[in-house]
Amino acid sequence: MKRKKHIYFGSNEVAPRDLEKSRIVVLPLCYENAPSYGTGSKDGPYHIMSASMQLESLDEETLVNWEDIGIHTLKPLLPSNDPEKAVREMKKAAKDVLEKDKFLLSLGGDHAISIGPIMAAAKIYPDIGVLQVDAHLDLRDSWNGSKYNHACVMRRVMDDIRIPVTQVGIRSFSSEESEYVKKKKLKPFYAHKIVSSNDSWIDKVVETLPEKIYMTIDLDGLDPSIMPGTGTPEPGGLSYRQLVKLIKTVGRKRKVIAADINELAKIEGFNLSEFTAAKIATKIFVYCL
């Protein structure tokens, strides 16, 4: 996709904030390497930001104008096609933001975009943990020829970065990943155990989290009836309201240092997925800052 101009998160009615005066920095990470199924996530950040320009800036639940918080959008980063080098490049870009004490929202790209920013966050905040919303465990040690593939993200976090992860919405995984869960005595919040009529699971999720967290939202964590535009859709996922309630509770009870939204794959002629992803970003702004 041709990117002829710098697109900002938010409407055209509000002038983009400069970096020093902003509380939020949006980092578009246009990266996709060796996808498992559907393609298109490399252009996901562009579509999310384009959709954000159509959003009303007043949040309907809090009556907070999220544009007033102060948002600066960096120019899109197009990382190397070499996965290990790409991780280093994304780590540096995230580190440059976090060292300025800004809230970082990275937009992907496939889920591998999370590795570098989580590395950067853990370096600055060694007591941090990760909240992962996802259909998949992402605990393979290697996939499609790389340890830095999107299917290996949480394996790198647990084995290499060595920080705790709470996984929510899980409903698809391999035998290798199942064995790893047993070996490490992990306790994912499986989608089939999340009851739509009872939100008590959300408090249980929060209880597992340390004080400071990095939040990563793979959009396939949502049910495909809500989020069809993703490369590996899985039936039986979270509803939009369940995700918003989770973000709200985590933001109220924990300190969210940074977040990312990833795996958007646009369906041509259909705008629901990118609009929903942009709306989720605004919920992170109003509830986590």
Q: Domain 19-288 carries which CATH code?
A: 3.40.800.10
pLDDT tens-place string over residues 171-228: 999 999 999 999 999 999 999 999 888 999 999 999 999 999 999 999 999 999 999 9
pTM of the model: 0.95
Query: What are the pLDDT digits (tens) for 32-49?
Result: 996 766 688 999 999 999
Do 213 and 255 contact (CB within 8 A), yes or no? Answer: yes
| 8 A C-beta contact, residue 102 and residue 54 | no
Peptide bond into 10 cis (omega under 30): no
Residues 128, 211: Cα–Cα separation, whole Å: 7
pLDDT bin (cut points 50, 70, 90) of residue 2 is very low
- 7-11, 87-91, 210-214: segment of lowest average pLDDT: 7-11
Residue 121's φ and ψ, nearest 5 degrees, are -65, -40
Phi, psi dihedral angles at 248 (to 5 degrees):
-60, -45
Residue 94 burial (C-beta neighbours within 10 Å; 0-12, 13-18, 19+): buried
What are 58-88's pLDDT values in tens digits? 999 999 999 999 999 999 999 999 999 999 9
Question: For residue 151, which of 44, 32, 258 has the smallest C-alpha distance?
Answer: 32
Tokens 């959003």 map to which residue? 55
**Helix, strand, coil percentages for the chain (3-state, nearest 5):** 40, 20, 40
Domain boundaries, the chain: 19-288
CA distance 194 to 108: 26
